Homo-oligomer: A and B are copies of this chain.
């Protein structure tokens, strides 16, 4: 008890996702997740507030990464281009998690409460990106519109990316989704 466990966090995430996929999110307990990971419940709660947050810890990390990339971006392009560059850079670091992400999306799609939580996390991401753009001197409503449009582009690309194993890289899908957005808004 209390000793350091190598990659306890990752093991708990993997165990949770396996159990949610096999049995469903609702009936799975923290005790079962800890047991599958070979860890204790106490260790679980050192990393996650509850069994739902296991699925959304990555969303918080993604938000931090995107905000810091956007804040440090030195591009002279439009606000939306800056958001696009941050998204593409984050996509690179997500590429190795495609199988995990696909399983996670299937679990979320099967549960109303999780779908709602995902929406709230994406709205939080858009708000954070808009705030970062304002810090860079972008005015409203441009900051909010660029952030919302960027998150919409990301969602479309992410849904395609997790829809099957034969899809292009996420960064490539984000570029394609931006092209589609420009076509939709151009006329």
Contacts and interface: CB of A to CB of B under 8 A. Distances in A.
B185 A142 contact: no
Instruction: Please report whether the interface of chain A is mostly helix, strand, loop or mixed according to DSSP.
Output: helix
Given A119-B119, A185-B185, A152 B148 contact: yes
A92 B80 CA distance: 30
Contact of A152 (B119, B149, B183): B149
A141 B78 contact: no
A120 to B, nearest CB: 5
Interface of A: 77-81, 116, 119-120, 123, 140-142, 144-146, 148-149, 152-153, 155-156, 160, 177, 180-187
Assembly stoichiometry (copies): 2
Given A78-B187, A145-B180, 16 more contacts: A79-B184, A80-B185, A81-B187, A119-B119, A141-B160, A141-B180, A142-B184, A144-B156, A145-B153, A145-B184, A148-B149, A148-B152, A148-B156, A152-B152, A182-B185, A182-B186
A81 B184 CA distance: 9
Nearest to A151: B148
Nearest to A144: B156
A153 to B, nearest CB: 7
B123 A184 contact: no
Contacts of A182: 185-186
B185 A149 contact: yes
Contacts of A156: 140-141, 144-145, 148
Contacts of A160: 141
A6 B84 CA distance: 53
A182 B146 CA distance: 10
